[in-house]
A and B are shown apart, each in its own frame.
Chain A
Amino acid sequence: MGRYLVRRTLFMVLVLFIISIFTFLIFMKLPPGDPARRLAGKVTNEQILAQIRENLGLDQPLWEQYGRFAKGLIPVPGLWLDENVYYSWSNRQAVSDEIRQRFPITATLTIGSAILWLLMGIPLGIISAVKRRSVADRAGMIFALIGVSAPTFWLGLIFLYVFFYILGWAPATGLDIGDSLSQSILSGEFILPWITLAITSAAFYTRIVRGNMLEVLSEDYIRTARAKGLSEGRVTYRHALRASLTPVVTMLGLDVAGLLGGAVITEQVFSLPGLGKYAIDSLNGLDFPPVMGVTIVAALFIVVANLLVDIAYAALDPRVRFT
C-alpha cells in the first residue's frame, strides 16, 4: 500500500506538471490576442506595451516565464501560488486569495447538488431495475433521457424564467450583498443551482444504477440468496445494491472532484462567484495567472480524487488489490 501511494503521488505530480505545460503553451503560444495590448487601453504605443510586458514578465523567454509559474505550483508554503506571480493582471488580486474565497461557493454548489443527485438517481435507478419494464421504469428512463439530453445552461435558464421571473418563488441570481455563505444557503439562493446541476447527473446515475442492478440481479449468488429464502428487500438492498454501487462510488468521486474545479456553466447562469466563473471571466480577459491557478487546482482535485476512489474501490471490493 505504501509503495502504491508513493508511486501514485509521483504520477500525480507528473500529471500536474504536464497539464501546467499544456496550459501555459496554449495560453501563451496560441493566444487569441495579446494580453499586453488588452491591458494597454484604447490609445497606446510601443512604449506602453513594452512597459506592460516588462511589468508582467511577458518580455522574458518562454521557458523563463513558465519557470516563474511552475515554481508557484510546488505545494510548499511561500511557493504555492506565490502572490508575486499568481495575481490577476487586470485587478491585481492574488489568485490564491480569490481561490480561497471562491472555493466555498463552488464546494457548496457541488456538495449540495451531489447530495441531490444521489437522492434522486439511486432510488430511481433501483426502482427502475426492480420494477423492470413497469410504468415506473419507463418514467425513470424518460427522466434519464431528458436529464442527459437537456443542456445545463438551458435547464438553468428555464428554471430561472419559471421559478424566479414568472412565479417569484425563487430568489434572483447571484448572492445577496453582505450575506455570509450560510445565510445565502438558508435564503434559498442555491436551490435552483443545485437542482439544475443535479438533474443531469441524476439522470446519468439513474441509468448507471439501473444497469448495474440489472446485471447484479441476474448473478448466480442472487438466485442462490432467493433460493435460500431471503426476502426480496434483503436481496435487493443488502446484496445487490452494494455490488451495484461500487462503480457509482468511482463516478461520484470523479464527478465531485471535477465540479470542485468549477461548475462553470451553472455558476455562469446563476451568477455565482465560484471558481468556474472566475476561470471564465479570466479567460475572457486574457488573464493568464488565474487561468493557470484554477486549472491546476481543478486538476489537483481530479488526480487526488482518482487516488481516493481507487483506495475506496479496494475497500469496497475485496477482490481488488493494490499493485
Chain B
Amino acid sequence: MKRYLRIVAAVAVLALVAAACGGGEDSPSDTGSTASPGADIAQGGTLVTAMTQDFFYGLDPTQEYYSVSWEFLRCCMARTLYTYESVPADEGGGVPVLDISDGEPAVSEDGLTWTFTIKQGVMFGDPLNRQVEAQDFVNAINRLADADINGPGYPFYYTRIDGFQDAWDGKADEVSGAVAVDPSTFELTLNEPEPDIPFLFAMAATAPLPTELIEAHYDAVELGQFLVSSGPYQWEGMEGIDLTGKEPPTGMDIGRAYVFVRNPVYDPATDGRRPAYPDRIEIQVGGEVQDGLDKVDAGAIDWCIDCGVTATTLQAYSADPALAERLKTHPADALSYTGFNVFQAPMDDVHVRKALNWAMDKAAYMRLLGGPVAGVVAGHFVPPGMMGGLNADYDPYATPDNRGDIDKAKEEMAQSVYDTNQDGVCDGDVCTIQAFAVTNDQDAIKTLEIMNEGFSEVGITLDIQTQNYNTLVAKCAELAAHRAFCQAGWGKDYPSPYTFFGPLLDGGENGSNYSFMGTTEDALTEAGYEVPANFADLNITEDIKACQATPVGDAQNQCWADLDVRVMEELVPVLPRRFPNDNDVLGENIVNYSYDQFTGVGTVDKMALASAAA
C-alpha cells in the first residue's frame, strides 16, 4: 500500500459512532511529545509492536516509499545528512535539521555546489563498526540513480544533481555531481539551484550505504535485508554476520517479523535527537486492523503501527477518560480530494469546477468518517501545517456549517457553457459523469453518494461505479481514459508544498496528476482531446519553479500560499474534501510518546516503556 493509501486507509474504516462517543463535538487530543503523568522515563525494555502491512521493500532505503518504513529508517537504522526532530509540526517537526552533516554545508554563491563535512563519530554498526564516510553517500546517490533498482522510489526529486539524469538514462555508470572529496567531505554539484536540498537529504534514499554492503548485496530489497545501520539500532543477528553470505540476520524475517537491537557503536553524543528508549523493538507482520487494536487493548502488544483507529476502538476509548489518554491524534499533512481532469468535459469549464466546490456537503462527509478524529474539512489544497501556518483558515468556498451552498453553486454553474439556458443547472448528456470508488469500500461509495446529492442540484449526475483499486488508479492516471472526475488521497513526501503541487498539478501524465495540468499539446491530441484556447493558462510549472527558487523560510511559504490561492480561485483543478488525521492507540506500557510530523507515524525511538522503569 502506498504511503498516501496508508493515510487514507487509516481513517477510512471510521464510521458514524453513536452519540455516546461524544458526538464529535469535542476536539481530538492534539498532543505532541507526551509523557504519562508521574511516569519514569527510562531506557530499556522491549517495544512489542505489530503492523498489518509489511515494509514494501525489505527496508531497502533506496526503494522504500512508505511512511512506516521511513520512520524505522529515520529513527533507527539510516541516519542522513539532515533529519527531523520527530515532533509535531507546531513544535517544529516539519523543519529539517542537521544530523550527520557537521554544521551547515558550504554553499557556493550560485547555489550549485554544496559541500558537507561528515561528523566524526557517526559509526556503522555490526559487522563493519567503522566511521561513516563521504563515499558512502556517493554510493547512495549512485544507487538512487540506478533505474534497475529504483522504479518505486522518488528519484525524480534528485534530477538537479549533475549527472543524475545521465545515470538514470543509462548513459553513465555514476552520478558525476556526487563526489567524495575526501573521506569526510561530500560534495554535490547541481545543474540548477535546489533550495530543497535539506529536505531531499533528509530522505532515507540518501542515507549512507557502505561500499562493503553495496559490493555484497547491491540488488533491490536484498540490500535492506543486510542493511548495516548508522543509527541507534540494528537488525538482531548482525553481530558476527558474514556480510558476503546469503543468510540475512535473524532479526530480519522478511514478511513475517523484525527485531531491532541496539547498535553497539552508536554514539548518542553525535546525535542528540534520538533518545532510543527501548532496548529492543519487535514487529510482527500480518493480521487485521481490529485484531491489532484488540491486542493493544489486551496488552499483548504495545502498539499497532499502522492500525490507526476503528469505530469500535474509537467508541471504547472516547467513552473512558483513562483510555482516551492513550488515543493520540495529529494532522497528517495529507489531503483527501477529488481531482478534475481540466481537459475533459464538463470539467474543462472552470465554472463547473467551482460550482461543485460550492455544492458539496462536507459536513455530511465528515460525519460519515467519524467527525473530528477523522480530520478537518479542507478548504484549500495544501495541508495547514506545511506553509508555516499560512492559509490555515483560507477557504474560498466556505459555506455555513460546511453544508454546501446550492445557491452559490447555481450562480457559478449559470456562467458555464454547459448551462445553455443559464438556470444554474448543467444541461445535456455531458453532465452525467462516471465516478469510481474502490470495490467494497463502503465509505468511498457513500462519499460519492453524498457528493451526488449536492451535485445533482446543479445538474451534474454521478454515475457511481466500483472498480478494483489498481485499475481505478491506473485509469485515473491515464489521459486517454478521459476520466473527468477521480477520487484521491495524497500525503507529503517531505514537508514542502512542492510535494503536493509538483506531483498532483504538474507534469501532465505522471501517474498522480489527475488534473493533467502541465501536459503537452501533443499528448492531448494523441489522447483524443482538442487543445483548448486557454491551454497555456492551465499550467503552474513556472509558478512552482518560482517558489522553489525562493529561499526556504517565510518568503517561500508566502509564495506557496499565493500559489495555493491561485489554484483554488483561478484554476480549481481539485475539490479538497478533508485534511485527515493520523491516529495512534497506545498500550499501557508506553509512558512516553511523540508524533513524527515528517513520517506521519509515532516516533519509535521516543516510546519509553513502563517495563523499563520497573
Identify the A interface with B (CB < 8 A).
31-34, 37-45, 47-48, 51-52, 55, 90-93, 98, 160-161, 164-165, 168, 171-174, 177-178, 268-269, 271, 273, 277, 281, 286
**Chain B residues positioned under 8 Å from A271 (CB to CB):** 284, 286-288, 291
Q: A-facing mask of B246-276, CB < 8 A → 1, else 0?
A: 0000000011110100000000000000000
Residue of A nearest to B259 (CB): A177
Q: List 24 A-B contacts (CB under 8 A).
A: A32-B471, A39-B152, A40-B511, A41-B2, A41-B153, A42-B503, A43-B503, A43-B512, A44-B510, A44-B511, A48-B147, A48-B151, A55-B148, A91-B54, A92-B58, A160-B291, A164-B298, A165-B297, A172-B295, A173-B295, A178-B257, A273-B255, A273-B285, A281-B255
Given contact pairs A91-B221, A178-B259, A271-B286, A41 touches B65 in the complex (Cβ within 8 A): yes
**Chain B residues positioned under 8 Å from A51 (CB to CB):** 147-148, 151
**Chain B residues positioned under 8 Å from A168 (CB to CB):** 298
- CB proximity to A under 8 Å, residues B1-50: 2-4, 50
Chain A CB within 8 A of B220 CB: yes
A67 to chain B, nearest CB (A): 23
Secondary structure of the B contact surface, majority rule = loop
Question: How far, in angstroms, from A273 to B285 measured CA to CA in the complex?
Answer: 9
**Chain A residues positioned under 8 Å from B219 (CB to CB):** 92
Q: For the side of the interface on B, what is the size category?
A: 35 or more
Residue of A48, A171, A268 contacting most chain B CB atoms (<10 Å) = A48
Q: Is the CB of A33 within 8 A of B255?
A: no
Chain A CB within 8 A of B282 CB: yes
Question: How far, in angstroms, from A39 to B257 measured CA to CA in the complex?
Answer: 22
Q: Is the CB of B474 within 8 A of A174?
A: no
Residue of A37, A43, A93, A273 contacting most chain B CB atoms (<10 Å) = A43
Residue of B nearest to A98 (CB): B255
Given contact pairs A173-B287, A174-B287, A277-B286, A43 touches B510 in the complex (Cβ within 8 A): yes
Chain A CB within 8 A of B529 CB: no
Q: Is the CB of A43 within 8 A of B156?
A: yes
Question: How far, in angstroms, from A188 to B93 measured CA to CA in the complex?
Answer: 44
Q: Is the CB of B256 within 8 A of A42?
A: no
Q: Is the CB of B221 within 8 A of A37?
A: no
A143 to chain B, nearest CB (A): 27
Residue of B nearest to A268 (CB): B288
- CB proximity to A under 8 Å, residues B277-303: 282, 284-288, 291, 294-295, 297-298, 300-301
Q: Is the CB of B511 within 8 A of A42?
A: yes
Identify the B interface with A (CB < 8 A).
2-4, 50, 54, 56-58, 65, 147-148, 151-154, 156, 219-222, 254-257, 259, 282, 284-288, 291, 294-295, 297-298, 300-301, 468-471, 473-474, 477, 503, 509-512
Secondary structure of the A contact surface, majority rule = loop
**Chain B residues positioned under 8 Å from A48 (CB to CB):** 147, 151
Q: Is the CB of B54 within 8 A of A40?
A: no
A306 to chain B, nearest CB (A): 32
Residue of B nearest to A161 (CB): B294
Residue of B nearest to A41 (CB): B152
Question: How far, in angstroms, from A93 to B156 measured CA to CA in the complex?
Answer: 27
Q: Is the CB of B503 within 8 A of A174?
A: no
Per CB-CB distance, the 6 closest pairs between chain A and chain B, nearest first, are A33-B470, A32-B468, A271-B287, A44-B511, A41-B152, A172-B300
**Chain A residues positioned under 8 Å from B288 (CB to CB):** 268-269, 271
A317 to chain B, nearest CB (A): 44
Residue of B nearest to A43 (CB): B503
Q: Is the CB of B152 within 8 A of A34?
A: no
**Chain A residues positioned under 8 Å from B301 (CB to CB):** 172
Question: How far, in angstroms, from A174 to B257 measured CA to CA in the complex?
Answer: 10
Given contact pairs A40-B511, A43-B156, A164-B298, A33 touches B474 in the complex (Cβ within 8 A): yes
From the candidates A42, A173, A281, name the one contacting B291 in the complex (CB within 8 A). A173
Question: How far, in angstroms, from A269 to B290 measured CA to CA in the complex?
Answer: 11
B249 to chain A, nearest CB (A): 13
Question: How far, in angstroms, from A37 to B473 measured CA to CA in the complex?
Answer: 9
Q: Is the CB of A273 within 8 A of B286?
A: yes
Given contact pairs A33-B469, A92-B222, A174 touches B57 in the complex (Cβ within 8 A): no
**Chain B residues positioned under 8 Å from A55 (CB to CB):** 148, 151
**Chain A residues positioned under 8 Å from B255 (CB to CB):** 91, 93, 98, 273, 281
**Chain A residues positioned under 8 Å from B3 (CB to CB):** 42
Question: How far, in angstroms, from A172 to B293 measured CA to CA in the complex?
Answer: 11
A265 to chain B, nearest CB (A): 12
A32 to chain B, nearest CB (A): 4
A16 to chain B, nearest CB (A): 26
**Chain B residues positioned under 8 Å from A268 (CB to CB):** 288
Residue of A nearest to B222 (CB): A92
**Chain A residues positioned under 8 Å from B297 (CB to CB):** 165
Question: How far, in angstroms, from A45 to B56 measured CA to CA in the complex?
Answer: 20
Question: How far, in angstroms, from A34 to B57 measured CA to CA in the complex?
Answer: 18
Question: How far, in angstroms, from A172 to B512 measured CA to CA in the complex?
Answer: 39
Residue of A nearest to B168 (CB): A47
Q: Is the CB of B221 within 8 A of A92?
A: yes
Question: How far, in angstroms, from A160 to B295 measured CA to CA in the complex?
Answer: 11
Residue of B nearest to A272 (CB): B286
Given contact pairs A34-B474, A93-B255, A41 touches B468 in the complex (Cβ within 8 A): no
Question: How far, in angstroms, from A164 to B156 measured CA to CA in the complex?
Answer: 48
Residue of A nearest to B147 (CB): A51
**Chain B residues positioned under 8 Å from A177 (CB to CB):** 257, 259, 282, 284
